[in-house]
Amino acid sequence: MFDLLIQNGMVVDGTGNAPYRADVAVENGTIAAIEPHIDAGRARTVLNAAGLAVGPGFIDIHAHSDDEFLNDDRCESRIYQGVTTELMGQCGFSNYPCPEEHRARITEFVAPHVRPYAACSMAEYIENVSRAGKRMGTNL
């Protein structure tokens, strides 16, 4: 039995092919089937996506949500946009790691936007994000 069945949606599969109507079954957080029709009795939860698009989660390859993961453990602002994975810090600026000699300057720069730092090292940041129970993938 599937955990979730999304029926009647227009599937945009990310391949560049035209969208198509299909049902999508999810089991243990993973897509288990995409078929023209899947019987609703095969799933614990059924969502009717008629008139809606169904697609894979988006990967944001340039994000600055370092502190957002600590402030909003559900990451709702990103997930509501369809973002499921973010890549942060690759542009040369990230809040973490924050060596002590740069902490005052970085804090002043980002102070209007984020809360005070809870960690300085990358290990501390990863520990804090893990403890927060975030709901999406993060790559630093």
From first to last of the 140 residues of the chain, give the pLDDT tens digit. Answer: 999 999 999 999 989 999 999 999 999 989 999 999 999 999 999 999 999 999 988 899 988 777 777 667 677 888 888 888 888 777 777 777 777 787 787 777 776 666 555 556 778 777 777 776 666 666 65
The Cα 1–Cα 24 span in angstroms is 13
Q: Which domains are delineated in the chain?
A: 2-54 (2.30.40.10), 58-139 (no CATH)
Report the first-to-last Cα separation within the chain, whole angstroms: 36
pLDDT of residue 116: 59
pLDDT of residue 113: 63
User: How does DSSP assign 60-91, residue by residue?
Assistant: EEEE--TTHHHH-TT-HHHHTTTEEEEEESTT
pLDDT of residue 108: 77
Pairing of strands 2-11, 53-54: parallel
Residue with tokens 């990967």, as numbered in its chain: 59
How many beta carbons lie within 10 A of that of residue 7, not counting itself?
20
